[in-house]
Chain A
Amino acid sequence: MKLPRLIARNLRRRPLTTALTSFSVALGVGLFAAIGALRHGAEQGFQRSASLCDMVVGAKGSSLQLVLNSLYHVGTSPGNVPFSLYEEISGTTGVLWSVPMAVGDSYAGSRIVAVTDDLFEALEIPDYGKLRLASGNAFAFSKEALVELHHELEEHHHEEDEEAEEHHEHHEHHEHHEHHEHEESEESGTEEEEHHAHDEELHHLIEEHQGLFVAVVGSEAAAASGLQVGSRFTPAHDVSGGAGQEQHEEAETEVVGVLEPTGTPLDRAIFIPLGAFYLIEGHQPTEESEFGGARDPLGLSSILVRSKPGFYSLSLWRSWNNRLDAQAARPADEIRNLFQVVGNVDAILRLVAALVVVVALIGVLVAIYNTMGARRKEFALLRALGAHRATVLTMVMGESAAIAAIGALIGMLLAGAGVWVASGKVHSMVGVAVTVLPGWDEIQLLLAVTAVGAIAGLVPAWNAYRTEAAHHLSGQL
């Protein structure tokens, strides 16, 4: 009978002890592996999404907030940058492509992201490629169309401003007039007429661009909201997702395409043309609006940029960061920094899990050691049948190592199941797909726990090694 079979039989002889000690090892290893795998998987998933672009250009403030909001659709935007910055960036040497973005609306808990069609044409996802549609088509809304519409809207609002100013001056001039009350009633009548005229103009504009009220929906957003090609929905103003959100009734939007799953936060978003975003009533500038600043209503939340590598990337990053009205954040750096902070917590958790493994292995040692007294006759018999002392020693260490290895394997399975459950949660929270396949780290962990298990068995094994066969071969086993 070969040694492995002897070890297996000895473990089967004590099923409860074997099961309990293996399970205690499994819990520790599972915890240890799950923490590591989840962190590693999450970081990889986040970095995969971070590599969608080289830089995110947005308003001054927290660069992490800018990246999280623009790429992961988490939190709020730090503010707006002027539209002119997009025109400048898209024409800069060294910029391969740029996608302007405006956020702030949502539908059924999914965020609405206003973009140009460059998103569908330029964006390349690692290990996936360009965005593909599961059904329908992408919308067409080019940079040129955006620039044209933006200028049209700017002109419209400038005219409105000038008229408002003229009206204000006219009002001041007549303030001291004798027939003040009579004039005031005339003025308010004129003001209402002007507003009415502008509203009509805007509605005319909306009607003129009715074709812009279309959307392409990410796979998860489609599943969550039930939207499919041909569905119509009304965007809500703000991203809170709570009841009582203000609805953009005038901006009923038709779904023209649904994206295939990408394993990135893009899955959770609903994309509309930027032109439609600017035409939505609640996004119109008011008399208090400050054009060009961080609250410019015709500005942009951010601009995703892919640049030529090396020198270009660095110099563009520096030059944009030197601006007073914008900053450029590198998603890869931001996510790395974020995970460095998370890494400290992760290290403490893994230390605790490692201690659980150590305690479990001590439990294995104690469990085997406690059987030593009863097993002396067994060892004596094996020695009488010709087994070397080393064989007996190896057998006991093997039992300990086997319990540890079984525990480690079960622990890996538990960790896999835990990560699978947790990855669903991570995906629903930030849209990052956490995929964890057993790799070299897991094999190393399995080998390490088995080796430590064997070492833990050394104490009882040494006891078995020293058994003098001749002294224990009388009486029952």
Chain B
Amino acid sequence: MIRLLGLHKSFPRQTDEQSSGHSLSVSDFEIQAGERVALVGASGSGKTTLLNLMSGLILPDQGSVEVDGVDITQLKESARDRFRARTIGYLFQTSHLLPGFSALENVELGASFAGRAVDRDRAKSLLDAVGLGHRHHHQPQQLSVGQQSRVALARALVNRPKVVLADEPTGALDPESGKAALKLLLDTAGEENITVICATHDAGVASVLDRTVRVEELQ
């Protein structure tokens, strides 16, 4: 499903930072369809960078990123955007819901840029599935942090993605809420054969996934 080959990405030193620039190299890394992989490593090891490379939000200096048989480094930016909208679901450490938009509208946003009609019924059923059936029209500020993260989960799944990239998805939640959110993600992923790549510091999260990969070991 995902293959990173001969990948190198370096970041120049920022003018306002004292630190020197850093880089990420991956010689060959492959993830199978439907596999659930935990990316672990120290802070600054490149977990988020790796997710951004897999989503096509940033491009490597060298090497290729193949997702679902497509080398996204060879696509033009607009084609990469469309590919991301159709193929990838994104989960962030914080829910990143848009203020002013209801829970349902925030979920629909996840399928708004794929170039096809938004499936409102799926958006509703996903909200129902994450236990927010009675909160479709609530604004983000009317929801608890846990409820917001469940809305974000529904948004990541609404476009029927083949891959979900999750960056510390339970980082902002208490242990119970985190566990419940992770279970929801993995259950849905299992039902729809979605590949899940999860960057995490949490050994508990990593332990429930199929495979754990240390970023430092990919070089």
Contacts and interface: CB of A to CB of B under 8 A. Distances in A.
Contact of A476 (B55, B58, B94, B105): B94
Contacts of B108: 1
Given A9-B105, A12-B100, A390-B78, A1 B93 contact: no
B81 A1 contact: no
Interface string A388-401: 11110000000000
Nearest to B84: A386
Contacts of A348: none
Contacts of B86: 386
Contacts of A382: 109, 113
A386 B92 contact: no
Interface string B10-51: 000000000000000000000000000000000000001000
Given A1-B118, A470-B57, A474-B93, A386 B113 contact: yes
Interface in A375-393: 377-378, 381-391
A371 to B, nearest CB: 12
For the side of the interface on A, what is the size category? 20 to 34
Contacts of A9: 100-101, 105
A387 B99 contact: no
A10 interface: yes
A470 B52 contact: yes
A381 B105 contact: no
B38 to A, nearest CB: 19
Contacts of B78: 388, 390
Interface residues of B, number: 32
Given A1-B108, A385-B90, A385-B109, A13 B100 contact: yes
A382 B155 CA distance: 12
A386 B82 contact: yes
B94 A378 contact: no
B81 A386 contact: yes
A202 interface: no
A387 B57 contact: no
B98 A389 contact: no
A475 interface: yes
A1 B57 contact: no
A321 B76 CA distance: 80
Nearest to A11: B100
B85 A386 contact: yes
Interface string B96-116: 111111000100111011100
Of A12, A391, A474, the most chain B CB neighbours within 10 A belong to A474
B187 interface: no
A383 B57 contact: yes
Contacts of A417: none
Contact of A385 (B48, B93, B105, B110): B110
Contacts of A383: 57, 81
Nearest to B114: A386
Given A1-B105, A386-B82, A388-B81, A13 B90 contact: no
A468 B155 CA distance: 21
Contacts of B48: 474
Contacts of B55: 384
A473 B52 CA distance: 10
Interface in B136-169: 155, 167
Interface string A1-20: 11000100110110000000
B192 interface: no
A469 interface: yes
Interface in A437-458: none
A280 B96 CA distance: 90
Contacts of A475: 94
A320 B169 CA distance: 96
B209 to A, nearest CB: 22
Of A2, A377, A383, A386, the most chain B CB neighbours within 10 A belong to A386
Contacts of B100: 9-10, 12-13
B97 A477 contact: yes
B112 A1 contact: yes
Contact of B99 (A385, A470, A477): A477
B77 interface: yes
A378 B98 contact: yes
Given A385-B112, A386-B81, A386-B84, A13 B93 contact: no
Contact of B98 (A390, A469, A474, A477): A477
B59 to A, nearest CB: 10
B92 A473 contact: yes
21 contacts: A1-B105, A1-B109, A1-B112, A12-B100, A383-B81, A385-B90, A385-B110, A386-B81, A386-B82, A386-B114, A387-B113, A388-B113, A389-B77, A390-B78, A391-B113, A473-B92, A474-B48, A474-B93, A477-B94, A477-B96, A477-B97
Given A6-B112, A384-B90, A385-B155, 5 more contacts: A1-B118, A384-B55, A388-B81, A473-B96, A474-B94
